[in-house]
Structure 1
Amino acid sequence: MSTTFEGKVAAITGGASGIGLATAEALLAQGARVVLVDRDAAALRDLVARHGANCLAQVTDLLDPASCNEMVPQILARTGHIDILHCNAGSYIGGDLSEVADPAAIDRMLNLNVNAVMKNVHAVIPHMTRRGSGDIVVTCSVAGHSAIPWEPVYSGSKWAITCFVQTMRRQLMRHGIRVGQVSPGPVISALLADWPEENLRKAKENGALIEPSEVAEAILFMLSRPRNVTIRDMIVLPSNFDI
């Protein structure tokens, strides 16, 4: 086993599945202690049992203000420090805006994709600033770089995150804190359930999808650079994906 991240503590939101879990498993394999943050307590229990003592469960509902606010303090109380915060949790709304049946779904998605990220970063800044070091990585999307016509709400949330990440990178670099984002194309995950059926069918047929593990490899590359190097954004696309 590689020990590149030996002694490091990483907290990953949305850690029970998809990109979050793939990143957690990659970090665990390289010696890190990983806190999986998710609202799915049963899934977290199973993952902790599978991965052993270096894998910790943090049951947090990021859409509940009190639970979201308690996340970072609770993790610090258990681990003593956070070296890496991976803000990965997110949800998806696809289709024409006029077809969104429940406008409250827009609030929920924006609260998770944007507001929770901002609040989690806000909470960890004092701790990382005191230590003079830290890494913050946010899972964005290629939709944060291009106006995707079949997902205006999701695209809008990721454009907001691109702006947030790049402004925070400039604010925090003087404190020794690196901030960057990974922007995948379509990833095989539950988020694609809301894709237009025809788009999903074509993507599958054309091989225009990537695995969560392939995004995790990009994240580990970002995190393993020397401290004088920041990868501000890594766009990871299936080779057959045209946007």
Structure 2
Amino acid sequence: MAQSLEGKIAVITGAASGIGLATTEKLLENGCTVVMVDWNEKALNELVAKLGDKAIPQVTNLLDADSCAAMIPEILKKVDHIDILYCNAGTYIGGDLTETTAEEIDRMLNLNINAVMKNVHAVVPHMSERKTGDIIVTSSIAGHFPTHWEPVYAGSKWAITCFVQTMRRQMIPHGVRVSQVSPGPVLSALLADWPEENLRKAKESGSIIEPSEVADAIEYILTRNRNVTIRDMLVLPTNFDRV
């Protein structure tokens, strides 16, 4: 039996586009208030004007240490509490290791790993005190398979898979569920680095999914009764045959 999300307060990072925006829309449909976190202030303001009063903008640059540290305290000045933290913001590097730079590697690891850990670190005392909450992280199928065509990205997602599963166990006594969703290729800005020909072939063959289909998985995870935790949900295009 599913539980209602009516009245829940959610925080979603990377909320101005892609999976984050699709999940924002899905949770608003379920009666949630959603704090939309993104660095793009203009996009956030345009979106909340369209989405209504239950969408609240939070401008945060997760790659800036001070901005990242201020995120949860600033949000708790806007809302009474946080029921759901969805750490979704991330970036992508594909190709051979030698095709990227040290600076790009730092940026990816800071966003895909460090910012997630910092956000979770900041919200855990709040949720532990309330003895309830949900933390979800966007991982990837690349976090389960040695994807040799994207070693930096896959490495970041393997790290996050380990972090989520260790935190899941750590938070059990505190009534806080910790989960992840692991999509295959999603049609979003994250794949901007994909060669155009590869993207075209993926679309034509049905080897790519829409952000809304990942949002459906998030809805399923969150609406399970509290005695059930979905540790990880792999969401793959039916015709995706690379793993």
Q: Tell me the TM-score normalized by structure 2.
A: 0.97
Distance 1:143 1:18 in 2: 18
Matches within 5 A, 1:96-111: 96-100=96-100, 102-111=101-110
Distance 1:198 1:31 in 2: 40
The answer to whether the Cα contact below 8 Å between 1:95 and 1:196 also exists between their aligned partners in 2 is: no
Q: Which one-letter code corresponds to 1:208 in the other structure? A: S
Equivalent residue number for residue 54 of structure 2: 54
Q: Give, in angstroms, the shift of residue 199 of structure 1.
A: 3.2
Equivalent residue number for residue 142 of structure 1: 141
Distance 2:56 2:12 in 1: 10
Equivalent residue number for residue 72 of structure 1: 72
Equivalent residue number for residue 41 of structure 1: 41
- The number of aligned residues is 240
Distance 2:212 2:203 in 1: 17
Equivalent residue number for residue 29 of structure 1: 29
- Measured on the aligned residues, the alpha-carbon RMSD in Å equals 1.0
Identical counterparts, % of pairs: 68
Q: Give, in angstroms, the shift of residue 198 of structure 1.
A: 4.5
The answer to whether the Cα contact below 8 Å between 1:69 and 1:119 also exists between their aligned partners in 2 is: yes
The answer to whether the Cα contact below 8 Å between 1:10 and 1:32 also exists between their aligned partners in 2 is: yes
The answer to whether the Cα contact below 8 Å between 1:95 and 1:150 also exists between their aligned partners in 2 is: yes
Give ranges in structure 1 of 5+ residues lacking alignment. none
Equivalent residue number for residue 10 of structure 1: 10
Q: Which one-letter code corresponds to 1:62 in the other structure? A: L
| SS of 1:154 mapped into structure 2 | helix
Equivalent residue number for residue 115 of structure 2: 116
Instruction: Kindly provide the CA deviation profile for residues 56-83 of structure 1, in whole angstroms up to 9, marking residues without a partner as x.
Output: 0000000000000000011111101000
Equivalent residue number for residue 225 of structure 1: 224
Distance 2:181 2:165 in 1: 12
Distance 1:229 1:182 in 2: 15
Instruction: Kindly provide the CA deviation profile for residues 152-174 of structure 1, in whole angstroms up to 9, marking residues without a partner as x.
Output: 00000000000000000000011
Equivalent residue number for residue 152 of structure 1: 151
The answer to whether the Cα contact below 8 Å between 1:10 and 1:34 also exists between their aligned partners in 2 is: yes
Equivalent residue number for residue 239 of structure 2: 240
| SS of 1:234 mapped into structure 2 | strand
Matches within 5 A, 1:86-101: 86-100=86-100
Q: Give, in angstroms, the shift of residue 205 of structure 1.
A: 2.2
Distance 2:34 2:4 in 1: 14
Q: Give, in angstroms, the shift of residue 194 of structure 1.
A: 1.2
The answer to whether the Cα contact below 8 Å between 1:89 and 1:113 also exists between their aligned partners in 2 is: yes
Q: Give, in angstroms, the shift of residue 195 of structure 1.
A: 2.0
| SS of 1:194 mapped into structure 2 | coil
Q: Give, in angstroms, the shift of residue 125 of structure 1.
A: 0.4
Distance 2:5 2:79 in 1: 15
Q: Which one-letter code corresponds to 1:83 in the other structure? A: D
Equivalent residue number for residue 133 of structure 1: 132
Instruction: Kindly provide the CA deviation profile for residues 113-169 of structure 1, in whole angstroms up to 9, marking residues without a partner as x.
Output: 000000000000000000000000000000000011110000000000000000000
Distance 1:64 1:193 in 2: 23
Distance 1:185 1:210 in 2: 8
Distance 1:202 1:53 in 2: 40
| SS of 1:63 mapped into structure 2 | coil
| SS of 1:138 mapped into structure 2 | strand
Distance 1:78 1:45 in 2: 16
